Amino acid sequence: MENKSKVVEHDDVVIKFVGDSGDGMQLIGTLFSETAALVGNDIATFPDFPAEIRAPQNTIAGVSGFQVRFGKNKINTPGDLCDVLVAMNPASLKANLKWAKKGGTILVNSNTFEPKILEKSGFNTNPLEDNSLIDYNLIIAPMTFLTKEAVKDMGLDNKTVEKSKNMFALGMIFYLFSMPLDNAKKFYVKKFKKKPSVTEMNTIVLEAGYSYADTIEAISTQIKVPPAQIEKARYRNITGNVAVAWGFLAASERSKRPLFLGSYPITPATEILMELAKHKYLGTKVVQAEDEIAGICSAIGASFAGSLAVTTTSGPGLSLKTEALGLAVITELPLVVVNVQRGGPSTGLPTKSEQSDLYMSLFGRNGEAPLIIIAASSPANCFDYAYMACKLSMEHMTPVILLTEGYLGFGSQLMKIPKVADLPSINPPIAEPNEPDYKPYRRNPETLARRWAIPGTEGLRHRVGGLEKEDIYGNVSMDPSNHETMVRLRNEKVERVANYIPEQDLNGASTGDLLVVSWGSTYGVIDAAVGQLQKEGKKISHAHFHYISPLPKNTEKILKGFKKVVVCELNAGQFVNYLRMKFPENQYLQYNKVQGLPFITNELTDKFNELLAE
């Protein structure tokens, strides 16, 4: 049939795929995102799924979602409200209708809107019939029925066939946005190469969805998003967790230190371990330890032996690692700890993102145990800050905590693949065999880092451990004045890292009415909100921090340039209280959200306008 739809152009679009946990929303969201990237759009994604294992079917507790924003301009966030909501069952519609723009499109699988399922989802009436969705462009499709019809001659069982109804929805969305089907078809061939019937089934259903969308009157307009004007290079749609793993691999190659990961699986950090396990051919050693403590202790042992040592975890795991982290501090060995933060305390919200662990990273160890803390701000720059964490840890001979968040770890973004040779050099202070007058705690006069003596190297035998050591000589020492000397040296060593990190940058003028301060995953949405108000002529600027301990050298100067400073965080106010401690003469306002959800642009612009008007 001839295509009757007209085509309109949009600069960017937000789509959210939602359904039951078994409906394959993460898969079709990923396939659509990859296709958008392949046709030249910039993208950002936000997977959102329940923590419950096998939540009751067709309940709000079991709703899984995947949001993607794609466009012709630089995309820094997965968006706020969605232009298109794909809802595979009533529960997913009820849970996500608040995120749909009025006037936007809602595509539903009408076969699931049956009385028993509606009741289970909390609906008193059928929303497809009671005019409650009159403010939206509603597209009703009997996807389950049409999926079965498309492959009825293949002789497959109903359970197998019903699993592919998500591909019918994907086909319809590909049509709506004038997207090719080739990438999805190639995925089927690769994924199901041992099950050709499943490849054929999914291909038929995908094409059936595309053709159905072309024939129904409800879709009279197709949307075209032009390619992004980005630098020609090699790009990859990458999640934050995979980007962290790649950053470690690059740092290992650049530093010429073998990479060792000792970790215990924990949501939402496990994918870092899984990714590094794929690269043993590069010499990477990966140990899935029996618990969090074993994971970090094995990494400390590997560091003592001369490896670039890392361990990965989330909040509850970092709690368990703190004693061993103190051991890494007192032995002055390099170690990178990645904390992919989630909502707490305790088990808390395992699949939801929060900036929950800054206090624990700063202060969560016994004694005086300073270390370096840095934070990534996007899925793509998780690579950069994982690399920088390795560089700082090895060159300054001290542990580093790299803070990411579930929002970054699971989310994805286009990343320009760098050449390792173009990355900053990494020069670990490795002691040479029979180094003249070697002493284990003799320090570099600039960095205060001690030399890294690899076991087995002739002439470098020395003692390490959790007991305090004598300055320079490394013998066990209980001398009170020596202990104070070592405490001050370890602290000063971390403070001097400020000489080796960039000064804090600023989006906007260096003086004005309001400075917005942020860190971690909040960068994109806050930058968008500030940029919107700057276009309106408001005297507002934005400082986003990646380096937290130590802070950049010009931090205080930036803070003093504004009448008001507001610190925005996805916690109850941890960074703002840290700033109050470091620079108590300044006055700080704060805006916090502790819901396991990211900020949205409108709530930020409303708050900033309120502060500017006071």
Q: Are residues 305 and 203 in the same domain?
A: no
- Is residue 338 within a helix (H) or strand (E), and if so which, with residue range? strand 335-341
Contacts of 57 (CB under 8 A, 6+ apart): 20, 21, 22
H helical segments located in 256-399: 270-277, 292-304, 315-331, 358-363, 382-396
Q: Is residue 457 part of a domain?
A: no
Q: Are residues 66 and 41 in the same domain?
A: yes
Q: Looking at residue 366, what DSSP letter applies?
A: S
Q: Which of 42, 3, 16 is nearest to 221 (CA)?
A: 3
Q: Is residue 255 part of a domain?
A: yes
Q: Are residues 527 and 582 in the same domain?
A: yes
Q: Is residue 114 part of a domain?
A: yes
| 169, 24 contact by CB (below 8 A) | no
H helical segments located in 1-142: 25-38, 90-96, 115-121
**Residue type for position 217:** E
Sheet strands (E) in 33-149: 42-48, 63-71, 82-87, 100-109, 137-141
**Residue type for position 444:** N
Q: Is residue 481 part of a domain?
A: no
Q: Is residue 468 part of a domain?
A: no
Q: Which long-range contacts (CB under 8 A, 24 or more apart) does 474-482 make?
A: 474/439, 474/440, 474/441
Q: Are residues 151 and 26 in the same domain?
A: yes
Both tokens of residue 368?
A: 């005086």
Tokens 């004005």 correspond to 512
Q: Name the stretches of the chain with pLDDT < 50.
A: 1-2
526 vs 443: CA distance, rounded Å: 42
Q: Which of 192, 224, 256 is the last residue of a domain?
A: 224
300 vs 466: CA distance, rounded Å: 12
Q: Model pTM greater than 0.85?
A: yes
Q: Are residues 100 and 220 in the same domain?
A: yes
Q: Is residue 434 part of a domain?
A: no
- Pairing mode, strands 235-239 and 412-416: antiparallel
21 vs 55: CA distance, rounded Å: 8
Number of domains in the chain: 3
CATH number at residue 604: 3.40.50.920
pLDDT at 1: 39
Q: Are residues 167 and 113 in the same domain?
A: yes
Q: Which of 333, 300, 295 is nearest to 317 (CA)?
A: 295
331 vs 315: CA distance, rounded Å: 24
Q: Is residue 429 part of a domain?
A: no
Length of the chain: 614
Range of the domain at 562: 512-613
CATH number at residue 312: 3.40.50.970
Q: Are residues 532 and 557 in the same domain?
A: yes
- Is residue 510 within a helix (H) or strand (E), and if so which, with residue range? none
Q: Are residues 408 and 522 in the same domain?
A: no
Q: Are residues 250 and 188 in the same domain?
A: no
Q: Are residues 325 and 365 in the same domain?
A: yes
Q: Is residue 131 part of a domain?
A: yes
Q: Which of 362, 392, 420 is the last residue of a domain?
A: 420
pLDDT at 4: 56
The dihedrals phi and psi of 447, each to the nearest 5 degrees, come to -95, -20
Tokens 């890292």 correspond to 497
Q: Which of 230, 234, 232 is nearest to 417 (CA)?
A: 234
pLDDT at 233: 85
Both tokens of residue 146?
A: 């049409």
Q: Which of 402, 420, 438 is the last residue of a domain?
A: 420
pLDDT at 5: 67
Sheet strands (E) in 360-429: 372-375, 399-405, 412-416
3-state secondary structure at position 361: helix
516 vs 521: CA distance, rounded Å: 14
Across the beta sheet with 42-48, the strand order is: 137-141, 100-109, 82-87, 12-20, 63-71, 42-48, 412-416, 235-239
Q: Are residues 386 and 530 in the same domain?
A: no
CATH number at residue 47: 3.40.920.10
Q: Are residues 204 and 262 in the same domain?
A: no
262 vs 325: CA distance, rounded Å: 13
DSSP 437-470: T--TB-B-TTT-PBPB--TT-TT-----SSS-B-
The CA-CA-CA angle for residues 156, 161, 162, to 5°, reads 150
Which residues on adjacent β-strands are paired with residue 562?
512
